[in-house]
C-alpha cells in the first residue's frame, strides 16, 4: 500500500466551498481512479486553514499515474481558487515597465509514503456517525534501528491500539525522501476518544516502549524535559498533529 498526504493552505473565506468541492467533485473522480482505496479530507484542529487530502493506493505506480493524469491537473486548476496567498511576493515588470508586487499562492505540498504496517482495528461501520478524528505523529529513527522499530510497531504498538476503545485504524509509513523519518497515522471514532487516549498515559507508555529506537538527540531532550530543563526545537523533535475528518469515502 502507498499513502499520499496532499497539504493545502486555504483562504479562510474559501474553506466551506473547498469542503463542498472535495465532497462533490474530488471524491467522485478519485472513486474512478485505478488503485485508490480511500480518500479523506482532514482539517487541522489548531490551524483550520490547513487541510490534507489523505489517499491510500494499492501501489506506488497507481498514485503516480493519478498525479500525472489530466484528472489531477484539472482538479489542481479548479482547487487553486481556494488556495491562500503565500508570504512570498512575486516581482515583475508591468506593460508600463513599472515594478509590480503580487502575492504568490501557497503551493500545495505532496508527501508520499510506502505503508510498512496497516491495520483496520474495527469495522468502519462501527466507528459511528460523529466526525472521525486523525492523529499524525512524525518522528526520526536512529540509523540501523528501522527494522527493529517496524517489528515493535507490528508486535507491540498495534496490539495495544487494538485494545483501546475508539481507535479505528492505524498506519505506519516511512518517508521516501528521508529514510530515518517515520509517520504514524491513527484514525479515531471521534475527538473525545483520541483525547482520552492521550490523557490516559497510553501514548506515553508506547513511546517508552520504542524510545530506544529514536535518535540520540531526541532521547537526550526527553531526559532534559523530565528534569524541567528548557531546550531549543530541533528537526529530531516528535511532531503530533490533530485533524478532524471533514469528508471521506472508502472505495471498493
Q: Can you give the pLDDT at residue 250? A: 86
Q: What is the spatial distance between Cα 186 and Cα 184, in angstroms, rounded to a whole number?
A: 7
> Structural domains in the chain?
2-80+107-250 (3.30.70.100)
Q: What is the spatial distance between Cα 28 and Cα 249, in angstroms, rounded to a whole number?
A: 9
Q: Express each pLDDT in 91-129 by its tens digit.
A: 444 455 455 555 454 566 788 888 888 888 766 555 655
Q: Can you give the pLDDT at residue 91? A: 47
Q: pTM of this prediction?
A: 0.81
Q: What is the spatial distance between Cα 49 and Cα 128, in angstroms, rounded to a whole number?
A: 26
Mark the ranges of the chain whose per-residue pLDDT is less than 70.
Answer: 85-108, 122-130, 176-179, 217-237
Say if CB 53 and CB 75 are below 8 A apart.
Answer: no
Q: Express each pLDDT in 163-183 by its tens digit.
A: 898 899 999 988 756 658 888
Long-range residue pairs from 173-180, CB within 8 A, at least 24 positions apart, any chain: 173/3, 173/113, 173/114, 173/115, 173/116, 174/113, 174/114, 174/116, 174/146, 175/111, 175/113, 176/112, 176/113, 176/114, 178/140, 179/146, 180/140, 180/141, 180/142, 180/143, 180/146, 180/215
Amino acid at each position: 500500500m502507498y499513502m499520499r498526504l496532499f497539504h493545502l493552505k486555504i483562504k479562510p473565506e474559501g474553506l466551506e466551498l473547498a469542503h463542498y468541492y472535495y465532497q462533490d467533485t474530488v471524491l467522485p473522480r478519485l472513486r474512478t481512479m485505478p488503485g485508490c482505496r480511500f480518500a479523506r479530507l482532514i482539517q487541522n484542529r489548531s490551524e483550520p486553514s490547513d487541510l490534507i487530502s489523505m489517499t491510500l493506493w494499492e501501489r506506488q505506480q497507481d498514485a503516480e499515474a493519478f498525479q500525472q493524469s489530466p484528472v489531477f491537473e484539472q482538479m489542481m486548476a479548479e482547487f487553486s481558487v481556494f488556495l491562500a496567498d503565500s508570504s512570498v511576493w512575486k516581482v515583475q515588470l508591468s506593460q508600463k515597465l513599472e515594478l509590480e508586487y503580487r502575492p504568490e499562492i501557497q503551493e500545495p505540498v505532496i508527501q508520499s509514503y510506502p505503508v510498512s504496517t496497516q491495520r483496520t482495528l474495527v469495522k468502519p461501520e462501527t466507528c459511528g456517525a460523529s466526525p472521525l478524528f486523525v492523529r499524525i505523529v512524525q518522528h526520526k529513527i536512529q540509523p540501523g534501528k528501522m527494522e527493529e522499530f517496524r517489528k515493535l510497531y507490528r508486535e507491540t504498538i498495534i496490539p495495544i491500539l487494538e485494545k483501546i476503545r475508539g481507535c479505528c485504524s492505524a498506519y505506519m509509513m516511512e518517508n521516501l525522501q528521508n529514510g530515518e523519518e517515520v509517520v504514524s497515522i491513527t484514525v479515531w471514532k471521534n475527538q473525545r476518544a483520541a483525547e482520552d487516549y492521550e490523557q490516559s498515559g497510553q501514548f506515553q507508555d508506547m513511546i517508552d516502549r520504542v524510545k530506544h529506537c529514536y535518535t540520540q538527540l531526541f532521547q537526550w531532550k526527553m531526559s532534559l524535559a523530565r528534569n524541567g530543563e528548557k531546550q531549543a526545537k530541533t528537526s529530531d523533535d516528535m511532531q503530533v498533529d490533530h485533524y478532524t475528518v471533514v469528508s471521506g469515502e472508502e472505495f471498493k
